[in-house]
Structure formats: structure tokens, C-alpha cells
Structure 1
Amino acid sequence: MPPVKQTLPDIATPGSLFDRLRAASRPSWDRYVRHGFVAGMGDGTLPEACFRHYLIQDYLFLIHFARAYALAAFKADTLSDMRAAARSMSAILDLEMGLHVKYCAGWGLDEAAMQATPEAQGTLAYTRFVLERGLAGDVLDLHVALAPCIVGYAEIASNLLADPATNLDGNPYADWIAMYADPEYRVVATAQVELLDRLSTTRGGEARFKDLCRTFDAASRLEAGFWDMGMGLLP
């Protein structure tokens, strides 16, 4: 069933760490969430070859996303945080990748072929940046680097549903928009916002705000680069 045009509330509560990081990185953030690739999905004009290229690279991205949660478990201080990271890794490997493969099959993409595809530079850049921030820093650095992806997709879907230029009738990307506007996904994004606040409190986030901003801004720019990769069919 196609999504319904509507205005959804902002995922980030005012004054939350995510809200402040987003405000401090607004030019990079807006280039990411309002990219031409995103606009093309909204009005249905994005070339399908660009979307297929993105889907293949997003499959490869998910593999490293799972690795990032394995790293989050290693970096965690408490059993509850270790278990939460392990659940997230399991959800990616055992559920989300399967759903992604099924979705990609509808676009004529085979899992074995996707596995055999080389990672594009945009995929390498963002995934390795996330892992580097987790390795060089702590679990707060890691989750700040992950946040633009997790929360950004929810905001993108919300923006598209509220945009008068979005046309959902016969739009081949309507299912993608619906997936990230779904209440279940918004729960995941909200949990990431709340996790950042909790980690900031226990790990001196206020004193590190400038450094966290640099990480968030870089991750937002790399996410925009991921759209560039799809739009330009870049290797």
C-alpha cells in the first residue's frame, strides 16, 4: 500500500544532542537529506539505473553496518548496552539484510551478484569512516557517526511525505518512502536520538561537543556522497 501524504513530527526532541549536532551541521545535513537523488525519488523522476546502483551499494553497506554494531558491543561498558548492540547486529544480519534482498529482487537484483559487486568509493568512504571513529574513539563517537544514517532516513521520508512536489501515484520509489516513514522505523530512529543523549551524559558529551560536531558533519557529508555515488553511477 503506498504511503499517504502527511506531515510527521520531527524525530529529534528540541535541545537533544542530535538536534544540536544537526543544527551545527545544517549545510551538510541539508545537502544530504534534500539531495537531488532524494528529490528524484519523491517525484518519481530518478533514473532506475541510479536506484539499482544505490540498492547494490546499500546491500554492501549493511554488511559494514553490522560490523559497526559488533564494535559497539566491544566498546560498551555495560551488559545492557552490549546486549542492545548485539540485538542490533542480529537484526541487520538476520532480518534487515533478508528484507533488503527481497526488496532488491523486485528490482531484478540477485544477492550473489550484489555480493560480487566491488564497493564503490562512496560506500568505502562512509563505512570505513564509521568504523574508524569507533576504533579511534569510544561508543559515543561511533553512534554519532552512525546517527546521520539511522535518523536521516526517517527525516528524508518525513520530508518527502510533506513535500508538495512529491508524487506517490505510480511512483516506483513509493515503497522505499513508506519503509522509512513506517512507525516501526521511526521507533528505531527515535531510540538512536535517545541513545545519543544517554551516552553524552555518561561520556562527557558537553565537553566534547565540538569534536562530536566534526564527526557528525563529516558523516552527513559522506551520506551526501553516497547519494552522489548513486546519482552519478560512480564506481
Structure 2
Amino acid sequence: MMYGATFPLLRAAAPDWHAFTHHPFVEGLKDGSLPRAAFLHYLQQDYVFLIHFSRAWALAVTKAETVAEMRACAATVHALLVEEMRLHEGICAEAGIDLTGVEERIENLAYTRYVLDSGDLLDLLAGLMPCVLGYGEIGARMLREAGETPYRDWIETYGGAEFQQTCAEAGALLDAATARRIGPPGTGPRWPALCHRFATATRLEVGFWDMGLRP
């Protein structure tokens, strides 16, 4: 799942990356200690997030320079709208929660609008990748480590083969887009700005988990 262009971005985001992928919210999902109210609140906010995140990936289609890039971005839009959102809709329906008209929290708004406010495709991908690759890393680790937990459906969604394939394709897209525009990963004048964008989005992910603990 980790591709060449990912390594300089991850270095720039440390230790925020660890705070994101090992957040108390995540560990609560893994061992089942996360309060149900916090989980359901998070799902509602994440559903709103996924709507805007899908729009951002759709925007990536318009910023792409090749048909291959367009197809890769469009495939991610499909994965978000069909695979991920189905999880949220199913769990919330069982809990009697209506997802229409959910009020967007400030932390959610700040993150999604930051991602949508971008330059070219590389700028946009740098803001999108922490969510895709981070959830993939979290899901894969939790699938290995988690025991009995009421959040098994969530873990299996992000640790499962379909989402892991989405992560692999996103990483490959990032590598190809980087090579096409600025050459080898970590070199050239644009990398500091891309790394800063990736690190900022990672901190916003940490803030999203923090919000989840405050229903």
C-alpha cells in the first residue's frame, strides 16, 4: 500500500501520522471500549464527510491530465459512494438514525473545505491521501489485531480486500501523477508544499477523531 511518493509525505507528517493511525478512538474500535454513542456520532459526521470527499475525488477527475488518471479517480468516487457509504447507511438505519440533514461539525467543515480548496491534481491528492491510506493502514492493522469487538463490521470494511485494493490504486495514482509532473518523489521545489499539505490533512484527521470522542 505504501508507494514511492508516500514515503517523503509520511516523513513530513510524523509524529502526526502515528497520532492519527493509533488514536484513542481507533484503539477503542479495536478493543470494543469505544462508547456506542461516540461511534454513532462519528458515523453521522463521517457520512457528511464522505459526501464532500466524493466531490473532491470527482474534482480530481477534472484536474487529471490523462484518461488513466481520470479512471483511477472515478473508481475511487465509486468506492466511496457505494462501498463506504453503504456501511454508514446500514449501521445508522439499524440504530434508527436518519442521515439526511445531519448538522456538520466545525471540525468536519474545516477538513472537507481544506481538501476541496486545492491547486492542480498533485495538490488535491496530497490532501486526499491521508484519509485513504490512513484508513487502509488502520483497517489492515486492526484486522490482524482486533479480537471480539462490536465494531467488527467497520474493521472488516477498511481492512477488507476491496478497500485495500482502493488504497493500492490510490497509491499507484499518486506515484504516476508525481512522476508525470515533477519527477522522482522527494525531489524538486514543489515537495515542501506538498508535504505541508499532506501533514496538515493528517492533523485534520486527528481532529476528526478528537471530535468523534465528543458526541
Q: Same fold (TM over 0.5)?
A: yes
Structure 1 residue 94: Cα displacement? 4.7
Q: CA deviation at 1:175?
A: 1.6
1:101 alignment partner in structure 2: 89
Q: 1: CA distance between counterparts of 2:178 and 2:104?
A: 33
Give the residue type in structure 2 aligned to 1:138: D
What secondary structure does 2:103 align onto? coil
1:88 to 55, 76, 94: 76
> Is 1:24 aligned with 2:2?
no
Q: Structure 1: 5+ residue runs without aligned partners? A: 1-10
Q: Taking every aligned residue pair, what percent have the same amino acid on both sides?
A: 43
Q: Which residue of the partner structure matches residue 122 of structure 1?
A: 107
2:165 pairs with one of 187, 202, 205: 187
Residues 228 and 60 from structure 1, CA distance in 2 versus in 1: closer, same or farther, beyond 3 angstroms?
same
Q: Which residue of 1 aligns with 2:212?
A: 230
Moved more, 208-217 or 96-105: 96-105
RMSD: 1.7
Task: Give the number of equivalent residue pairs.
Answer: 211
Change (3 A) 1:95 1:189: closer
Corresponding residue number in structure 2 for 1:173: 151
In the alignment, what sits opposite 1:138?
120
- Whole-angstrom distance in 2 between the partners of 1:223 and 1:77: 28
Q: How far, CA to CA, are the matches of 1:159 and 1:23 in structure 2?
A: 20
Structure 1 distance, partners of 2:17, 2:154, is: 20
Question: In structure 1, what residue type is equivalent to 2:124?
Answer: L
Q: Are the equivalent residues in 1 in contact too, given 2:140–2:160 (CA < 8 A)?
A: no
Q: Following the alignment from structure 2 to structure 1, what is the Cα–Cα distance between the partners of residues 114 and 74?
A: 21
Q: Does 1:159 align with 2:141?
A: yes
Tell me, yes or no, if the aligned pair for 1:60 and 1:115 is still in contact at 8 Å: no
Moved >4 Å (runs of 4+)? none
Q: What residue ranges of structure 2 are gaps of 5+ in the alignment? A: none
Offset from partner CA, 1:106-150 (integer Å, 9 cap, x none): 3x143xx322111011111111111012xxx11011111111111
Counterpart of 1:3 in structure 2 is: none
